[in-house]
Amino acid sequence: MSCQISVERHLPAAVAVHSLALMSELAIEVRDLRRSYGEKEAVRGVSFEVRRGEVFCLLGPNGAGKTTTVEILEGYRTRSGGEVRVLGRDPATGSRELREQVGIVLQTCGVQEDLSVEELLEMYGRYHLRCRPVDEVLALVELSEKRGERARKLSGGQRRRLDLALALIGDPELIFLDEPTTGFDPAARRQAWSTLQGLRSLGKTIFLTTHYMDEAQRLADRVAIMARGQIIASGRPDELGGRDLRPAEIRFSLPAPWSLSDVPELPEISREALGDRALVMTRDPVHAVHLLTGWALENDVDLGRLAVTQPTLEDIYLELTGDASTDQVGSDQALQGVSA
Amino acid sequence: MTTTTSARSSLRRDLGLVAWQVRYEQRSYWRNRGRGVFTFVFPLMFLVIFASLDKGARISSRGNIAYDDFFVPGILAYGIITTTFMNLAMNTAILRDQGVLKRMQGTPLPTSAYVAARIISAALVTLAMTIVVLGLGASAYGLQLRAAQLPALLLTLVLGTATFTSMGIGLTRFISTAESGPVVVNLLVFPLTFISNIWFPTDSLPRFLRTIAGIFPIRPLASGLQYVFDPRHARSSLLDGRSLETLAIWLVIGMYLMVRFLRQPQGEVA
């Protein structure tokens, strides 16, 4: 807290007011970010903003430049070009004040193995001017019963929860989570999600990367999809790639002797038979289902396994990144050809 | 006025953080059995074994001084090398490979405070080693401890500890994976100990071996400590000037390597 005061003291009033206004709205600002490794450009002009209190999710296939982008924001890597502001500061300067306000969960990152869970939280907590009580953080990540256990004896899932606990001990404004639930079983993942939702309700900003679409769908306020070093789509998870405007799919099966041509006209775009299953695409699923089931009841047709679905986030993701990942494979092979 | 006050209070806070970190570095060290055996118990084992083998022996090439007066300071030198150089090189490589260094870099703890704590912690282990070796030497092996030795002993200890500490941290850059750590440090240290006055006097070794030993810092540390405890030097100066000079040169090299290792951002490693 003293850090903020000391910065403002050196700034002209107008600038201070302006930066305060920005700080209150935007947690992260990225403009035309670039990073090359030798000849290869891993991040090619990425721009986005994350508002305070928002859960922002960066999705993308392996090698898309996600980790490079996150590690630039975290201050671990330098950038080749562009502007980056995290909580109003440039992470490349390695400022201690920034590290006071940011919690980081890296993908694979060890701890001092011979210390206990409780000792680690005490040790890391002291680095911060302001920290949360150890008991509270342990309860939040549901690790209280393991507090006396040495880190080397923890299971994979417990380690991941310890990672989260260590990121939270300094009571950060902004939390980076790089694939926080990779390797979790479904129950552990649900548990982690409820923890993260708890953080959101505390008003923390969360920057998440993940491979799991259901995770993004469940947690994120906004999603950006990254491929080949660029952001190819961004928006709310339920609107991404025009998902909300896409036709719905109605699937069912018809018992013999009924066939798809017996089904009356629906407000539909198309219909097709897939083996014993029927697929109807429609922009008006409410009326279509009403007419379909009305017809079925009237004629005593048992519509098996009736289902209505919107395209999932995963469908959109695969559609958007499909070209990108094939291209990626293609260029990798080309590179191998050159080096061979 | 306010800036100096706040600078002073932030310095005080950082010194407090160093002390805090030293506590946890110490706990980590003494709890890890493998690390403790390799770097603390080994030298003491060698002390007991070798001193028992050569009980009552005298060294004719050194004016018939007792073998123990040569060997106890020699083992002290070896103990300093295991508790600083070997301990830090192997452990820092492990911390780097496990990502602990990267994690530490993401916290508000200044890198300088963390490194200071690691150095102080290693120095505390070295101090414990020194007390045990000299205590055993005086009580069981007839080593003469006198107050007059203290200044020369302290100077040699501090110089040796600083040299091998900085080189231990700096060496991490040349240890590609944590598994290769023990191999690398043993390859560097163990062969040299046989030509460096650690286990036996090397006065009658071929000239080229003595020249090689004189280049590296192990013999200067052993010789410097043996000089302090040599009963023939009772009344003259106890400082072995040439050995201390060589150690000082290695201290500069070690500091250079250490700073280069620490400047490397952990995020960019591999």
* Pairwise CB contact (< 8 Å): B103 & A129: no
Asked if the structure places residue A78 within a domain, the reply is yes
Same domain for A140 and A31: yes
- For residue A42, the SS3 value is strand
Which residues in chain B are closer than 8 Å to A109, comparing Cβ atoms?
A: 98-100, 102-103
The answer to whether A172 and A102 have CB atoms below 8 angstroms apart is yes
Please check whether residues A279 and A138 belong to one and the same domain.
Answer: no
Q: Beta-strand (E) ranges in chain A?
A: 26-37, 40-51, 55-59, 81-86, 102-105, 174-178, 205-210, 222-227, 230-235, 248-253, 270-274, 277-282, 304-309
Residue A282 phi, psi dihedral angles, 5° rounding = -150, 150
| A114 and A85 Cβ atoms separated by less than 8 Å | no
Average pLDDT over residues B3-12: 80
pLDDT digits (tens, 9 = 90+) for A61-79: 888 889 899 999 999 999 9
Q: Percent of chain B at pLDDT above 70?
A: 95
Query: Would the pLDDT of A217 be above 50?
Result: yes
Residue A259 sits in the same domain as residue A232: no
In a domain, A273, yes or no: yes
The last residue of a domain, from among A209, A241, A273: A241
Whether pTM > 0.90 for this model: the answer is no
Residue A286 and residue A191 share a domain: no
What is the least distance, in Å, from the CA of A84 to any CA of chain B?
17
Task: State the Cα angle at A132 between A3 and A72, rounded to 5°.
Answer: 55
Nearest CA in chain B to A131: B108
Q: How many CB pairs below 8 Å do chains A and B form together?
A: 80
Domain-embedded: residue A331: no
What tens digit of pLDDT does each residue of A219-258 get? 999 999 999 999 998 999 888 877 777 888 899 988 888 8
- Is A127's CB within 8 Å of B17's CB? yes
Residues A237 and A283 in one domain: no
CB-nearest to A124 from B31, B107, B110 is B107
Q: State how far the alpha carbon of B33 is from the alpha carbons of A14, A255, B36, B40, B267, in Å.
A: 59, 71, 5, 10, 30
Closest CA to A113 of B121, B92, B28: B28
| A34 and A182 part of one domain | yes
Confidence of residue A329 (pLDDT cuts 50, 70, 90): very low
Cis before A247? omega within 30 = no
- Are A234 and A251 contained in the same domain? no
Q: Could you tell me which of A257, A221, A215 has the C-alpha nearest to residue A237? A: A221
Grade residue A24 by pLDDT with cuts at 50, 70 and 90.
low
The pLDDT of residue B210: 93
| B107:A99 CB<8 A | yes
Return the pLDDT at A202: 83
Q: What is the pLDDT of residue A21?
A: 46
For residues B233 and B101, the model is more confident at B101
pLDDT at position A14: 46
Write down the pLDDT at residue A200. 86
Contact residues, chain A, for B95 at CB < 8 Å:
110, 112
Domain boundary (A241, A265, A292) is at A241
- Whether residue A11 is predicted with pLDDT greater than 70 in this model: the reply is no
Q: Is A333 domain-assigned?
A: no
Query: From the list B27, B98, B110, which residue is nearest A110 (CB)?
Result: B98
Quote the percentage of chain B above a pLDDT of 90.
Answer: 73
**At B270, is the pLDDT very low, low, confident or very high (cuts 50, 70, 90)?**
very low
Question: Which residues in chain A have their CB less than 8 angstroms from residue B111's CB?
Answer: none
Q: Report which secondary-structure segment, H or E, holds B58.
A: strand B58-59
- Contact yes or no for A195/A294 (Cβ under 8 A): no
Shortest CA distance from A101: residue in chain B: B108
Q: ∠ CA(B132), CA(B137), CA(B139), 5° rounding?
A: 95
**Do the domain assignments include residue A321?**
no
Same domain, yes or no: A211 and A302: no
Interchain pair A123, B24: CB under 8 A: yes
Mean of the pLDDT values across residues A4-31?
57
CB contact under 8 A, A111 and B102: no
Would you say residue A339 lies in a domain? no
pLDDT digits over B210-264, tens only?
999 999 999 999 999 999 998 888 666 888 889 999 999 999 999 999 999 888 7
Domain-located, residue A289: yes
> Cβ of A66: how many Cβ atoms within 10 Å?
25
CATH of the domain at A209: 3.40.50.300
Total domain count, chain A: 2
Q: Among residues of chain A, what percentage have pLDDT more than 90?
A: 43
Q: How confident is the model at residue B3 (pLDDT cuts 50, 70, 90)?
A: low
In A29-56, which positions are buried (b, 16+ CB within 10 angstroms) versus exposed (e)?
Answer: bbeebbbeeeeebbbbebebbbebbbbb
User: Is B51's pLDDT higher than 50?
Assistant: yes
The domain containing residue A93 runs over which residues? 2-241
pLDDT higher at B188 or A261: B188
Q: Where is average pLDDT lowest: A43-52, B9-18, B236-245, B258-267? A: B258-267
A7 and A150 belong to one structural domain: yes
pLDDT in tens, B54-91: 888 889 888 889 989 999 999 999 999 999 999 999 99
Domain stops at, among A198, A214, A241: A241
Label residue A326 by pLDDT band (50, 70, 90): very low
A272 and A199 within one domain: no
Give the mean pLDDT of B4-32. Answer: 92
The answer to whether residue A163 sits within a structural domain is yes
C-alpha to C-alpha distance for B68 and B53, rounded to whole angstroms: 11
Do A201 and A292 fall into the same domain? no
The predicted structure's pLDDT at residue B265: 66
Pair A115, A216 in one domain: yes
Mutation site for B-interface testing, chosen from A126, A169, A207 by largest number of B Cβ within 10 Å: A126
> H or E stretch including B19?
helix B2-31
